[in-house]
């Protein structure tokens, strides 16, 4: 008798239906027969995916919790089918000291209804060595905020830390961004924000990061990669990266429809420079860059409005819709949402549906149709460019460690 048995489930890589037995929070058995469980859930022929993993969220906790906190953010994640998220360090205080990192860990443990990891900010070598003992997901570098001299020092220091930890990068060149922003800053046309942070800023930054990593031997991962040329640079140098849904699905003409609601960094790109759904392959990683703000902060004009788009509750249905349209193969979904992130960020026991692995699972109904309604979301953000969009395919259940935390849109926190 198992703790939980999921009956009549489909797996992407297995023909027919299976049962998944769960014991002590682990996958205990996957079989064509139906073992008995203390609790049984009939999946009714829906697909079960390895629990979704988002390597890039901003939960704003501590210090900016009016935008989001670990409770609302983790509930939004569970609602969207995610079982593991990795939070970025630009909170208040920034998560770039041993003390602040440990304090954020405690906050997240108390509030989060799903699994989590934390990225760390960079600091002195001695401080980063102390943070490294707490197993950060990476050391994050916002290259658009750093001079060439400081970047050289940061790359050199991170490479000195035992184990050569992963560096995640916001790849935009500070000098180019400053020059183009100064040129356009008096404009109040939202689309001009995309020209103030042009494609060249990302391309130059990625080239610089690759050069520094070759100099010091760093282990690199590029966040929210948005241009075809930077993607090709990364691919040719065996550097991993992640795509956001907004950079895949929109170009900068979306500013003309949505205004500053679609303002984000890096910005939406011109069609000639951008990445597309067709660029997704078996090695791709999806990172939402879920970045909520207050609605007031999003409506202060082209250059004064806050940058960021909430995405945890829309990304899976958006890409399942692309599956239903024939633009993505279904077997890519577990790779881009789970397997590849688990491997890249060294998440042991996660990312796959295998015996002995954690029972973190996402059930999806590929045929369920609907319309996004921001009022039904769990995020504190009151906006989304995808509000009102139609979708086909959505997460119907989220299971974390064998525990049902979301069922048909309702999230349970205890």
Q: Which residues are catalytic?
A: 289
Map the chain to HEC letters.
CEEEEEEEEEECCEEEEEEEEEECCEEEEEECCCCCEEEEEECCCCEEEECEEEEEECCCCCCCCCCCCHHHHHHHHHHCCEEEEEECCCCCCCCCCHHHHHHHHHHHHHHCCCEEEECEECCCHHHHHHHHCCCCCCEEEEHHHCCHHHHHHHHHHHHHCCCCCEEEEECCCHHHHHHHHHHHCCCCCCCHHHHHCCHHHHHHHHHHHHHHHHHHCCEEEECCCCEHHHHHHHHHCCCEECECHHHHHCCCCHHHHHHHHHCCCCCCCCCCCECCHHHCCCCCCECCCECCCCCCCCCCCCCCCCCCECCCCCHHHHHHHHHHCCCCCHHHHHHHHHHHHHHHCCCCCCCCCCCCCECCEEEEEEEEEEECCHHHCCCCCCCCCCCCCEEEEEEEEEEECCEEEEECCEECCC
């Amino acid at each position: 008798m198992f703790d939980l048995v999921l009956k009549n489930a489909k797996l992407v890589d297995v023909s027919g239906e299976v049962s998944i037995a769960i014991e002590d929070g682990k996958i205990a058995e996957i079989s064509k027969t139906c073992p008995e469980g203390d609790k049984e859930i009939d999946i009714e022929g829906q697909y079960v995916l390895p629990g979704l993993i988002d390597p890039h969220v901003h939960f704003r906790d501590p210090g900016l919790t009016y935008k989001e906190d670990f409770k609302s953010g983790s509930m939004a994640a569970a609602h969207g089918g995610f079982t593991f998220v990795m939070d970025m360090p630009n909170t208040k205080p920034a998560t770039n000291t041993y003390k602040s990192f440990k304090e954020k860990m405690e906050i997240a443990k108390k509030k989060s209804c799903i699994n989590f990891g934390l990225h760390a900010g960079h600091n002195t070598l001695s401080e980063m060595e102390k943070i490294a003992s707490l197993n950060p997901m990476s050391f994050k570098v916002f290259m658009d905020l750093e001079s060439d001299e400081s970047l050289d020092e940061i790359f050199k220091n991170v490479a000195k830390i035992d184990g050569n930890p992963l560096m995640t990068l916001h790849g935009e060149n500070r000098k180019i961004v400053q020059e183009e922003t100064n040129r356009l800053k008096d404009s109040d046309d939202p689309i001009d924000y995309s020209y103030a942070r042009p494609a060249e800023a990302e391309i130059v930054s990625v080239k610089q990061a690759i050069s520094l990593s070759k100099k010091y031997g760093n282990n690199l991962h590029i966040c929210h990669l948005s241009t075809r040329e930077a993607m090709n640079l990364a691919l040719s140098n065996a550097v991993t990266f992640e795509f956001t849904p907004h950079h895949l699905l929109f170009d900068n003409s979306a500013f003309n429809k949505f205004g500053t609601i679609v303002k984000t960094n890096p910005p939406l790109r011109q069609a000639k420079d951008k990445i597309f759904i067709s660029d997704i392959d078996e090695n791709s990683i999806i990172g939402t860059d879920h970045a909520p703000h207050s609605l007031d902060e999003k409506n202060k004009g082209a250059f004064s409005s806050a940058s960021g788009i909430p995405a945890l509750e829309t990304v899976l249905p958006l890409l399942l819709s692309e599956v239903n349209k024939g633009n993505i193969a279904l077997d890519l979904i577990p790779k881009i949402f789970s397997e590849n992130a688990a491997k890249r960020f060294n998440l042991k026991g996660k990312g796959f549906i295998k015996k002995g692995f954690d029972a973190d699972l996402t059930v999806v109904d590929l045929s369920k149709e609907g319309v996004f309604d921001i009022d039904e979301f769990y995020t504190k953000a009151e906006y989304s460019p995808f509000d009102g969009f139609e979708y086909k395919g959505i997460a119907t259940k989220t299971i974390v460690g064998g525990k049902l935390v979301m069922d048909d849109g309702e999230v349970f926190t205890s």
